[in-house]
Amino acid sequence: MAKIKIQQIGSPIRRPESQKKILIGLGLGKMHRIVEREDTAEVRGAIAKLPHMVKIVD
């Protein structure tokens, strides 16, 4: 499977608890942190729920 790099660009402060849990599930939680995950439907779905807080980097 291919890997994708995800960077957090938005703060979890004043966000709903569900969005904070999605960030933690992706391995994020601090600003500008970058993680590498498998490119699966589950990861893509989590990214789609947080387009204002994460971005895919090359």
pTM of the predicted model as reported, rounded to 2 decimal places: 0.90
> Is the pLDDT score of 1 beyond 90?
no
Topology given in CATH for the domain delimited by 3-57 = Ribosomal Protein L30; Chain: A, (3.30.1390)
Residue 23 confidence (pLDDT): 97
Q: What are the sequence ranges of the domains in the chain?
A: 3-57
> Is the pLDDT score of 58 beyond 90?
no
For the chain, where are the alpha helices, taking DSSP H only?
17-26, 41-49
pLDDT in tens, 7-36: 999 999 999 999 999 999 999 999 999 999
CA neighbor of 2 nearest in space, from 47, 25, 36, 48 = 36
d(CA 29, CA 44): 18
pLDDT band, residue 37 (cuts 50/70/90):
very high
Residue 22 confidence (pLDDT): 97
